[in-house]
Amino acid sequence: MHPKHKIVTQLEDVPALIHYDIKEHPGYYGAFTTQQTPGFLPNGTRIKKGSGEEGDLTPPGTLGTVLGSMSHPAIGGGYFVAWDNAPKRAVFVMNFKIERAEG
């Protein structure tokens, strides 16, 4: 198992994520946080998928908007985003897969 997937299998890490207040929001499918991690792109920032891995459902180049962000020592950081092709569906994306959109 890849070390960045530790959070999925180690229950002792769950309390460190509770302070992010991940919950459902009216009008959206999928739970997410609107909190912003210091040093990360702010909520509302326009982004694009810069890289992907085999099995990713969203291809590189897809545009979206940051809804929130979070970080954890075991997995690194990431963003909750709404892609333009699914604007009310919140998904989590690791920070190394997105970049600020130009323009």
pLDDT averaged over consecutive 10-residue blocks of the chain (103 residues)? 41 55 92 93 97 88 96 85 95 94 87
CATH code at 3-100: 2.30.30.60
Pair of tokens at residue 82: 């709404």
Q: What is the DSSP letter of 96?
A: G
Residue 54, pLDDT score:
86
Residue 87, pLDDT score:
92
Residue 3, pLDDT score:
44
Residue 45, pLDDT score:
98
How deeply is 49 buried, as exposed, middle or buried, from its count of CB atoms within 10 A (0-12, 13-18, 19+)?
A: buried
Q: Is the pTM of this model over 0.85?
A: no
Residue 52, pLDDT score:
85
Q: Are 15 and 74 in contact (CB under 8 A)?
A: no
Residue 5, pLDDT score:
40
Residue 35, pLDDT score:
93
Pairwise CA distance, residues 23 & 45, whole Å: 21
Q: Are 99 and 85 in contact (CB under 8 A)?
A: no
Q: What is the DSSP letter of 41?
A: P
